[in-house]
Structure 1
Amino acid sequence: MDHFSKLPLDCISEIISLTSPPDAAAFCLISKRFKSASESNALWKKFLPPDIDDLISKSPSTTIPWKKKKDLYLSLSHSPILLDRCNLSFFLERSTGKKCFMVQAAALKFIGSDSYHLPVTQYILREKTRFVKLVVLGTMYGTFDIVGKIDSQMISEETHYSSYLVFKVTSQHCPETSTLSQVRGVCRYADKESVTVAINRASRCLFHRDDNSLFYGVCFPKVRVPTARGDGWFEVEIGTFFSGGGNHGDVESHVFDISLSPGETLMVEGIEFRPENIFGGMSGLGMLFSEEK
């Protein structure tokens, strides 16, 4: 006997809300009754951040209201919206509903090697970027740092976050494969900090020669390397932090001693703050986002 068929829809929705968005997508395949319960507004409201209405009201890029909370969730998981006079973009980590933000390049600080603020005025408009402007820096600046901050009250509480520099490096000699050779990053929050060293894949193993002309290699598997994103950009992890409850001020991500080779140009889209994906590649998540296409 199907005992679940006797349960009210609200009760089924309440049970499903104790799981996750990928699980909710899988529940909709059980029966029509479960499908109705797993697509209810009451259920998807619980998957959305509690301050979602306030965030949307501050965005100049949202003009069409969503009738269903599930549609809102799907939209924010695929397409970021702009906030804070277009200096910030907001989207959802689609397997958890946790909040993600990117501070755009024009809102970052670019600091030269002698601690002066670089007069960054070189903005260009390009495709495949969520912002109107992005910063372009060349070798004329020598070594420099990049600093980005976000208010800790904006991010999801009790969540492990990572911050990433989103960038591209173009070169006159190797335009398709250029990336940052080595960077050092620090993420500071609530009197704690994490330090990250990132190098390109070609430098991941260091070799030296001994007196007998033999080569020895030392590999660093835990050192971060820049990775390609699905939007045509590269990213490198700056640091990690845990967002506990309460207000502990700003989260600061600092990238140190960036240097470019002659003929290279660095394009910066921004610094992104997003939670760790604890679900990975679950099948329910694939169904959640494929059924709407």
Structure 2
Amino acid sequence: MNYFEKLPEGCIFEIISRTTPADAVRSTILSTGFKFVAKSDEIWGRFLPSDYQKIIDRSKLPLICNTKKELFFSLCDSPILLDSGRLSFFIDKHSGKKCFMIAARKLEILGSDDIHSWQWKKHHESRFSKVAYLHAVLQLDIRGKIGSKMLSPKTDYAAYLVFKLGRRSCELEYANSIIRFVKYESDTETEEQANTLKLVTSAKLRGDGWMEVELGHFNSKEGSDGPVEARLFEMKRSSIKSGLIVEGIEFRPKIIKCRASEVDLKF
């Protein structure tokens, strides 16, 4: 006997609404009642961030979707540009948490105003209008800040440098990385705790054709305020570096996602 079939629809709704999008899809195999509720527009409205409309309103391009479920998957699969194209927003498909990528143009990059050090160019694979090309510098220092209240609360986040390597890249094997809450931690305090990063060998290929390397992780505790800063840098000047192409720094939940064979998040 399938006892799930006897549960009232309201009870099923409460159960599913307190799970994640991935769990909602898995629940459809339990009973026809679960499948009906898991497809409802009201359920997918619960999985959208509470401030999703305010975020969408910051985009210049219209986002037309007929249902909340369609909107949810659109925001998962197709990041939208905000704030004159200097910020990208999308939703993590498995958790429903908010994700942002700060464009290179909005990052603090040491020497970026010197055309002999950095150059700004278009890249056909970038979601942003321009990316940063490293021509030649003695010291890397790239910072990206995001307001902690913009993120989903009580969530473990990680920050990633999103980049490519040019044909003539050199001296980019190692760097340092840190994450800090700007309001509570100084540069000096965090530099002493910086991680050594293997920029090239630790990088992973992304689905959009770019590479990424984790800069660190933190928890967006509810009630915390002020920006969180992710930083890639070098403690000392060394040899001349070149060939790094920076698209941005991405903040997204640090979640171990299930294998694609275990669940397909589409009905």
The TM-score, its normalising length taken from structure 1, stands at 0.78
With 245-254 and 4-13 compared, the bigger mean Cα shift is at 4-13
- Supply the RMSD in Å over aligned alpha carbons: 2.6
Amino acid of the structure 1 residue aligned with 2:124 = E
1:184 aligns with 2:184: no
CA change 1:94–1:152 in 2 (3 A) is same
Unaligned runs of 5+ in 2: none
Amino acid of the structure 1 residue aligned with 2:178 = V
Amino acid of the structure 2 residue aligned with 1:191 = Y
The TM-score, its normalising length taken from structure 2, stands at 0.85
Distance 1:283 1:23 in 2: 14
Contact 1:160/1:242 (CA < 8 Å) preserved in 2? Answer: yes
Contact 2:179/2:216 (CA < 8 Å) preserved in 1? Answer: yes
After TM superposition, list the pairs within 5 Å mapping 1:1-293 onto structure 2: 2-64=2-64, 66-112=65-111, 118-119=113-114, 122-139=119-136, 141-172=137-168, 180-189=172-181, 191=184, 195-199=194-198, 225-257=202-234, 264-281=242-259, 283=261, 286-289=263-266, 291=267
CA change 1:263–1:100 in 2 (3 A) is closer
**Percent identity between the two aligned chains:** 40
Distance 2:107 2:219 in 1: 22
Total equivalences in the alignment: 257
CA change 1:232–1:243 in 2 (3 A) is same
1:3 deviates by 4.6
CA change 1:77–1:91 in 2 (3 A) is same
Contact 1:93/1:277 (CA < 8 Å) preserved in 2? Answer: no
Amino acid of the structure 2 residue aligned with 1:183 = A
With 269-278 and 29-38 compared, the bigger mean Cα shift is at 29-38
Q: Which has the larger radius of gyration?
A: 1
Amino acid of the structure 2 residue aligned with 1:167 = F
CA change 1:187–1:263 in 2 (3 A) is closer
Contact 1:136/1:268 (CA < 8 Å) preserved in 2? Answer: yes
Amino acid of the structure 2 residue aligned with 1:128 = E
